[in-house]
A and B are shown apart, each in its own frame.
Chain A
């Protein structure tokens, strides 16, 4: 049988191909292909029940004359034979897809490229918007694997199915509940959700991705900025473009669509799903999409978020601000607003472009949104010259070699806040003593991380630095001060670090909480 589609010859195989009929089958195929040269061939195996080694030889011969050979609609039985014999490596073999219906199924997640439904107690299916989604599915599976290898807990799809006219990929997701659902049904869990959500966010942003494995988000945002050029007045388009250009390359992972429907609690484990937007880039790009998810999309019409996330605008906004504060490691409102504004610049750019490309300028309602976002974007572009910001928190491996990184992180914050040089020196001294203590003793002989958080508030300038480690419980303040009146011969070498810290800082406090040593120093100018 023969049909021609896009230059390829499609040949249907049916029944069994074994040593009894293989020569006849080969002859049939030859006749069909007569005079067609080396054209691509698609074998439709929907009705093929069995293939023996004699039949496989027919495929081999065919592969030689027509190298662009693929076999589609392969049943699981036949697929198993092809896989065992290594044929799946030699030619394109596509399984027959199981058909799944999502009618009446609960929607548990929604991302840029598809919607996730629960199909039974243990499994979910992500149905792709794009009808020709096999490429997308392959991409998502690859990036999910990459993320898993790099230490990000995620679910990997194990099957591809047909859902109506679309494709879907199936994941195992047991007893899971999305963070959106938790926020919508258990408001008292807000702070817990913020903590876990930010923990995962830091984990993602702390993951270095080998070069070339993931797309660079900066390139994408640059293309948005270029698109915006004709729609912004005066030099603001140019300014937007140069602000994006000035964002340095960053090889750390970003999720790209990090909202609470894409975070699942499975038993006691937090899992990230919907990985197809994974990229590398500066955190400001991530914060932009987070802002849009929790605030931006619903800023004009507060009802929008309810349909999407299941919770109301106020909940979304509170969750966003709390998460931002926990992520940056500061409760300073001025700083929070500044970083939020920078995220909004990228966020509005994205929403405006998306809406215009969907014909929003011709639709009255969409146009109102575009104008609303544009006005805000213009205001922000007039106010800021950079998209860059620094987190007030640094998580770093606690080893003495990392001291210079810790010192320059602290110094940068002190300098930004016009901290006097003498106090900077004293604080630097304390930072060294404490970090070296953690690096030397907290995890020995193992290794672990330390978190250093710097908070500076004004008038009079007050600096609070918090050191957190998960090492053995140790209260350095409990140790008796060294006797500073002893002579050199009597003095012991060591034990002075924490003493110097106590003497030069205005306050030093220690607590052990949730498995963490928390040491805090305070200096007032």
Chain B
């Protein structure tokens, strides 16, 4: 399951994701993002506690990236080995700003 923590400070919003971002949990994150991207200048996803991501999760990140285009920055931080590998094989390492 997925735990979403949101922290906003000075126009910078950090989402800390814990658990699994998959078909079952991705709609939840998508909904949360839809409701909170207005006026956000910097969007950060902290993935240090994210164990797993599937294409459903990638789709949400891609949607967020597109939504942020022209509005501000989006960063992805601390992905674990499994998640990094998924980013790599799908070319997401080129699309996302991963730190």
Contacts and interface: CB of A to CB of B under 8 A. Distances in A.
Contact of B55 (A428, A485, A500): A500
A436 B62 contact: no
Interface stretch (A268-276, A448-456, A491-499): A491-499
Contacts of A422: 81-82
Interface stretch (B11-19, B32-40, B41-49, B84-92): B84-92
Interface of B is mostly: helix
B26 to A, nearest CB: 11
Interface residues of A, number: 27
A489 interface: yes
A315 B45 CA distance: 63
Contacts, number: 69
B79 to A, nearest CB: 13
A426 interface: yes
Interface string B3-15: 0000000000000
A403 B66 contact: no
A423 to B, nearest CB: 10
B31 to A, nearest CB: 16
Contact of A429 (B69, B86, B91, B94): B86
Contact of A500 (B22, B66, B86): B86
Contacts of A489: 66, 69
Given A428-B52, A497-B54, A404 B94 contact: no
Interface in A425-451: 425-426, 428-429, 432-433, 436
A504 B85 CA distance: 9
Nearest to B74: A488
A400 interface: yes
A482 B94 CA distance: 14
Contact of A491 (B51, B54, B55, B95): B95
A212 B66 CA distance: 57
Given A426-B82, A488-B69, A496 B23 contact: no
A485 B91 contact: yes
A488 B55 contact: no
A85 to B, nearest CB: 61
B24 A504 contact: no
Contact of B89 (A403, A436, A491, A500): A500
A503 B87 CA distance: 11
A404 B54 CA distance: 14
Nearest to A439: B23
Given A488-B62, A488-B95, A496-B59, A429 B89 contact: no
Given A488-B95, A499-B90, A500-B90, A432 B23 contact: yes
Nearest to A400: B23
Contacts of B56: 432, 436
B60 to A, nearest CB: 9
A504 B81 CA distance: 13
Interface in A454-498: 482, 484-489, 491, 493-494, 496-497
Contacts of B82: 422, 425-426
A502 to B, nearest CB: 9
6 contacts: A422-B81, A429-B54, A484-B89, A484-B91, A489-B69, A493-B59
Given A425-B51, A433-B54, 11 more contacts: A425-B52, A428-B52, A436-B56, A482-B90, A494-B55, A494-B59, A496-B58, A497-B54, A500-B54, A503-B89, A504-B86
Interface of A: 400, 403-404, 422, 425-426, 428-429, 432-433, 436, 482, 484-489, 491, 493-494, 496-497, 499-500, 503-504
Shortest Cβ-Cβ A-B pairs, 3 listed: A484-B91, A503-B89, A497-B55
